[in-house]
Structure 1
Amino acid sequence: MAGILGPRAIFWAFIVLATGMIYRTYLHTFISLTLGIGREIQPIEDFPWTCTRVRHPLLEGCEDLWLDEQDRKLYAACSSLESRKGWSPAGSLYNISARSRTDHIAVINVDQPGSDGLYGLRQLKVGGYQDDLDLHGFDVRKIEGRLRFWLINHRPPVDHVTGEFLDARVVGANSTVEIFDLDETSDTLEHVKTVASEAILTPNGVAVEEDGLGFVITNDHNTKTGTFRDLELLSGGGSLAYCRSDTGKCHIAADKGFSMANGIAHDKNGYYYVTNSASGLITVHKLVNNELIQVESINTGYPMDNLWLDADGNLIAAAFPDSIALVKSSMDPYNIVAPATVLMINDIAKQLKTYGKNVKVSKLAEDRDAKSLPSTTVAVHDAKGHKLFLAGIFSPFITICEQRL
C-alpha cells in the first residue's frame, strides 16, 4: 500500500539513520578534531621565540614537567624511549620486559645554560623506596621549606604470593601515586608514602591542592585493559579521583562526560582544569561535598595532553595539530618529529567569570615543520623568565625557547 514501508525498506532506513547518528556523534568529531582536516598550522617563525633543542639521555621520554619559578629549576619525569615504546599503559602498551627500569626525575637550572648547554643537568637520586619507578604525570608543592612530589607510578602487576609478574595485557598496570620529599640542600628524593586505591584506575595526570593534602587524579580510560578500551577515542571515557595525602584514601569524584581525561591543573580558587584529549574540550570542575562538579567547558578545537597554570594565571595546553604525525613519531621517535602547538588562555579565572565557556583561546607557539619543538606532550610557560619549556613522552630531547622581547 502506498506510503507504507516494507520490512526491507525499514531496515535500510534504520541503517542510514544510525549511520548518520554515529557520524554526527563520533566520526565527525574524530575527522575534524583528531585528523585536523582543514586546520591551519603555522610555522615557528610566526611566533616570537628563539628555541634550542637540548639532547641528552636523561632528557629522553619526558612525559611531564614542573617549574620551580622561585628557585629557577625545571623538573622532568623521564624514561628511555625504548621503554616508553614497550611499557606505556596509558597508550595500551604492556610489554613488561621492555621496561628500562631507569625512569627518573631530571633537573636543570633554567637560567644557567653552562658551557655545554645542558643547564647543569642531573638526575635526582631516590631514597627509601625499594621498587623501580615507571613514571608518568606528576605535581609538586612546597611544604615547610622542602619540595613534595606526587608521582604517578605505573608499576607492573605482580602475584603477591609467588612474586612473579602477571600478564599486564589481561590485568593492566598496578598504578599508584608515590609521594617523595626533596630537601633544598639535597639531590635525593626521600619516600614518604604510597597511595594505592581502586579509584586510581588508569592515572594520567595529577594536581595537588595548595595545602598539599588533597589531590586529584585523571583516569584516562574506564578500564585498565579490554577489547573496547581503545574505542574510547570515539565514545569517550575517563574519570576523576579525589585523594588525600594524609589518609591515603581515594574515591571516584566524577565519572561522566569525559573524553579521555588527560592533563590537569589546579588554581588557588579551587578550580580544576582537565583536558579531554578525544574531544578538544577543557572541562572546569569544583569540589563540592567530595564530588567534582563540572562548572564549565571550553572548546579549543585541538586534541590536548598536559596543562600548566603559569604565575600570571594563564592556562597553557600542549596540543596536537597533526595526530597522525604524532603516532608516526611515537613509532620512530629518533627520526620523526611531529608538529606541535601550544595553546594559551590568558588569565583563565578572570575570563571564565566574564565570558564563561566563550573564553579566548590563542596560540602561544606552533611548529608546523617540526623544526624546533619536540613531539610535545607538555609545555610549561615561565612568566617570570619569559621562557617556554617543552617535552614529549616520545621525544629524544626537550626544547627551551626564549621570548624575543
Structure 2
Amino acid sequence: MAPVLVLLLPIVSILLAVSRPRMTILGVNRTPHEALNIDRCHAVQGLEACEDAWIQHDKGLAYLACSSLESRANWAPGLGHLNATALPAESTDRLRLLDLSTRTHKPVRLLGLPTASHGVWLHGMDVLPHPDDPSRLVLFLVSHRPPAERALASETGADSVVEIFETRVGSDEAQWVATAQHDLVRTPNNPVATGPRSFYVTNDHARKVHWASLLRRTSRKLELAYCESSEIVHCEILADGTTDCIVAADALTYPNGIAKGPGDLLYGASTFHGEVTSWEIQSDKTLLPYNLISLDRAIDNIHVSPTTGNVYAATFPNFFRFTSSAPTPSDPSRPTSASHRSPVEIWRVSNETSSEETFLGRQYKREVYLADPEGEVVSAVTTAAPWRNQLLLTGFFTPHATVCEFEHEL
C-alpha cells in the first residue's frame, strides 16, 4: 500500500495545483457578494433569451439578439446543445428594438436574407453607425445556422456565420447586405465592427464539436478541466462578396465578449481565465496585448460606456449554478424556476487616476457594481449594457430582460 501512496500523492498534488486556480475562477467555495444595487430593477417582459444587446446612446434605443428558452434548450452550439432536428424549419429568433425611455419594444423584420439560411439563429451582435450617415446603422449578427443535414449536427456542429444588415435609426425593418462565411469564423461568439463591412469576432471554442465527441460524448463539460486555445479573428467582406479573415490574436482560452474601447483599444474577456485583456489595434488589424485585468470570475460579455469609458462585465460568481440553470429539452422552462437561479455579479472596470494607485502600477480600478447572490431579482445575466444611469441586463437563457437604475451616470 505504501508504494502505491508514494506514487499517487505526487500525481494528486499536481492535479490539485493545476485545478485549484480554475476552480477558484468557477466559484467553488466562493462566498457570494452581498446584494448590491438590485432594489431599483424592473423586468421587461417579452425579451426572452436575449444573449447580447447594443445601445444607441443618443437615442436611448437598444437592439437585442433574442431567442426562446425552448430553442436554447435544443440549439446552443457553444454549450454543446446540438439537437438540430428538434428545431423548427425556420428560425423563430428575433432582433428586438427596445426604447429604454418607455421600456416598450418591437421586432425588427430582417428582409432579404437568403432562404437557405432559414432565418437567423442569434447569439452575439454589434451595431455600427455608418460613417457616411449616422442615421444608417449596420448590424452584425452572429448566426449559428443548423447544418443542411440536421441529423448530423452532433457530429458537424453549426454552420456559423455573421450576417450583416442595414437599417435606419428606429426602423422596424433591416435589409440584408452580406453573409460573412469563412473557415476562421468557426465558433463565433461576439463581434465588434471596425467598418461597414468589417469586424472582429471571437471564436469561443477551437472546434465546432468537442473532441470528446470522438468518444460518443457531445458535452463540453470536460473543458472545465482542459480547454483548447482559440482566437479572435478579423474579417472583411470583399468587393466580390467573399469573406477574407485573418487571425488577430491567438492562444486565447475561451475568448468570449469583446468591446471597442477609447482610441485604438479593444477589450476582450476570457471566460475560463476570469480576466479582461486590453489590446491595441494595429494597422493590419492584428492585436497587440496592452494590459490584463483579472476579475477572478468567469466572464461573459463586456460593454464600454461611451460617456465615462467604464467597462461593465457580466460575470458568473458560481459557474456551476449558471450551467445548472440552463434550459434542457426535458425542462425548457428551467430558468424560470426558483430552484434553478444563478447568482449574478456585474463588475465595473474604470481607469485609475489616483497618483498613489498609479505609482503602485494599478492602472484600472475593479469593483462589484451590482450583485444578486441568490439570483432572486436577476439571474444568469450574460450582458450588462450601460445607458445614462441604467444598466440593461439580458441573458442567453433569461426569461426576460431587466433594467436597473442608479443614482448617477454610468
* TM-score (normalizing by structure 1): 0.86
User: Does structure 1 residue 224 correspond to structure 2 residue 208?
Assistant: yes
Which residue matches 1:116? none
Amino acid at match of 1:241: V
Which residue matches 1:395? 398
- In 1: Cα distance, 2:129 partner to 2:98 partner: 18
Alignment match of 1:180 (pick from 140, 150, 165): 165
- In 2: Cα distance, 1:347 partner to 1:270 partner: 16
Which secondary structure state, in structure 2, belongs to the residue aligned with residue 65 of structure 1? strand
Which residue matches 2:314? 318
Greater shift in the superposed pair: 85-94 or 322-331: 322-331
Whether the 8 Å CA contact 2:345–2:372 is kept in 1: the answer is yes
Once the 2 structures are TM-superposed, how far is the Cα of residue 266 of structure 1 from its aligned partner? 1.3
Give the gaps of 5 or more residues in structure 2.
213-219, 328-333
Residues 166/310 of structure 1: CA separation in 2 closer, same or farther (3 Å cut): same
- Identical amino acids, percent of aligned pairs: 27
Deviations 1:305-348 (A, max 9, x none): 00101121000000111222212211311213311110001148
Which residue matches 2:51? 63
Which residue matches 1:378? 383
Which residue matches 1:5? none
Whether the 8 Å CA contact 2:74–2:83 is kept in 1: the answer is yes
- In 1: Cα distance, 2:173 partner to 2:255 partner: 32
- In 1: Cα distance, 2:126 partner to 2:86 partner: 26
Residues 154/349 of structure 1: CA separation in 2 closer, same or farther (3 Å cut): farther
Whether the 8 Å CA contact 1:276–1:282 is kept in 2: the answer is yes
Which secondary structure state, in structure 1, belongs to the residue aligned with residue 9 of structure 2? helix
Residues 241/350 of structure 1: CA separation in 2 closer, same or farther (3 Å cut): farther
User: Does structure 1 residue 38 correspond to structure 2 residue 40?
Assistant: no
Cα RMSD over matched residues? 2.5
- In 1: Cα distance, 2:156 partner to 2:360 partner: 44
- In 2: Cα distance, 1:254 partner to 1:231 partner: 24
Residues 240/193 of structure 1: CA separation in 2 closer, same or farther (3 Å cut): same
Residues 346/252 of structure 1: CA separation in 2 closer, same or farther (3 Å cut): same
- In 2: Cα distance, 1:70 partner to 1:254 partner: 32
Greater shift in the superposed pair: 350-359 or 330-339: 350-359
Alignment match of 2:21 (pick from 20, 29, 32): 29
* TM-score (normalizing by structure 2): 0.85
User: Does structure 1 residue 339 correspond to structure 2 residue 343?
Assistant: yes
**1:339-358 matched pairs, under 5 angstroms:** 339-347=343-351
User: Does structure 1 residue 196 correspond to structure 2 residue 181?
Assistant: yes
Once the 2 structures are TM-superposed, how far is the Cα of residue 358 of structure 1 from its aligned partner? 5.7
Which secondary structure state, in structure 1, belongs to the residue aligned with residue 325 of structure 2? helix
Which residue matches 2:215? none
Which residue matches 1:261? 255
- In 2: Cα distance, 1:201 partner to 1:355 partner: 41
Which residue matches 2:126? 139
Amino acid at match of 2:158: A
Which residue matches 1:329? 325
Give the gaps of 5 or more residues in structure 1.
1-7, 113-118, 159-163
Alignment match of 1:273 (pick from 261, 267, 270): 267
Residues 185/297 of structure 1: CA separation in 2 closer, same or farther (3 Å cut): closer
